[in-house]
Amino acid sequence: MAVPKRRKSRSTTRHRKAQYMKKLKYIKEGLSRCPQCDAVKRPHHICPNCGYYKDAQVVTIKEKTK
Ligand SMILES: [Zn+2]
């Protein structure tokens, strides 16, 4: 089994953990971020903001007109 050569610094550990907790927060709430427009969306669903799903535009979103 592979064993880490050196102990990771407190800074490195905390930095990694912070990134993970940030991601975990969205998973807990049942949400994910759109990679296209960075809006909060439901996982495995088309983004309601830009209409993208898996790097391709699936639906054209009508822009709100006053
Ligand atoms: Zn989007």
Q: How does residue 42 score in pLDDT terms, banded at 50, 70 and 90?
A: confident
In a domain, 51, yes or no: yes
In a domain, 46, yes or no: yes
In this model, does residue 25 exceed pLDDT 80?
Answer: no
* 52 C-alpha to ligand 1 centroid (Å): 6
Check if the beta carbon of residue 52 is closer than 8 Å to that of residue 46: yes
In this model, does residue 45 exceed pLDDT 90?
Answer: no
pLDDT more than 70, % of the chain: 91
* 54 C-alpha to ligand 1 centroid (Å): 10
* 22 C-alpha to ligand 1 centroid (Å): 19
Domain total of the chain:
1
Instruction: Summarize the confidence of residues 6-24 as an average pLDDT.
Output: 92
In a domain, 15, yes or no: no
In a domain, 3, yes or no: no
**For residue 52, what are the domain limits?**
31-66
Q: What is the pLDDT of residue 57?
A: 73
Pairing state of beta strands 52-53 and 40-41? unpaired
